[in-house]
Amino acid sequence: MKKILVIHGPNLNMLGKREPDVYGAITLAQVDEAIAKKGKELGVIIESFQSNHEGAIVEKIQEMYPDIDGLIINPAAYTHTSVAIRDALMLVSAPIIEVHISNIYKREAFRHKSYISDIAMASMCGFGVKGYVLALEGLCVAIEGETVI
């Protein structure tokens, strides 16, 4: 079975409490549950990881990169700042999907720059937490080579 790593960056552990007008009322546990359910449907193994620490995210990528068939990452605020996470992602030969719950391009100018977009296979932003499940579907199409519309 294919293995997909899902990484959630800083403050995403506060989903449901954090700026609900921007990020919604659904908690990270509920998001991970929805991703796991979709993973089961699609026949892939999902491992989810959240950290508020840049180095911990770098270390998780370093640990997992040889064993994964795809990576979904919402680097949260590190999207806009982290060369270290970008450099770690350069280790990953499997497809990477960047996810943002909000539409970062409709927000403050400092959120318009992503250090990840140009090394990702695709980016999903502005669909709320549903974006994770949509990203997983798209990623599975890419790694299975299936054509579904």
Q: Which of 3, 111, 134, 137 binds ligand DQA (CB under 6 A)?
A: 111
Strands across the sheet containing 70-74: 45-50, 3-8, 70-74, 96-100, 122-125
Closest CA to 64 of 35, 87, 88, 37: 88
Residue type, 45: I
By beta-carbon proximity to ligand DQA, the closer residue of 11 and 117 is: 11
Options 27-35, 36-44, 48-56, 76-84: segment touching ligand DQA (CB under 6 A): 76-84
> Contact 57/83 with Cβ under 8 angstroms?
no
Q: Which of 13, 52, 102, 117 binds ligand DQA (CB under 6 A)?
A: 102
Options 44-52, 72-80, 85-93, 140-148: segment touching ligand DQA (CB under 6 A): 72-80
Distance CA 38, CA 101 (A): 18
Give min distance, CB of 149 to ligand DQA, in A: 27
Q: Which residues are the active-site residues?
A: 23, 100
Could you identify the residue written with the tokens 């927000």? 107
Please tell me the count of residues contacting ligand DQA according to CB under 6 A: 10
Tokens representing 92 are 């990953």
Q: Per CB under 6 A, does 82 bind ligand DQA?
A: no
Distance CA 133, CA 149 (A): 15
Give min distance, CB of 37 to ligand DQA, in A: 20
Binding stretches for ligand DQA (CB under 6 A): 11, 74, 76-77, 79, 100-102, 104, 111
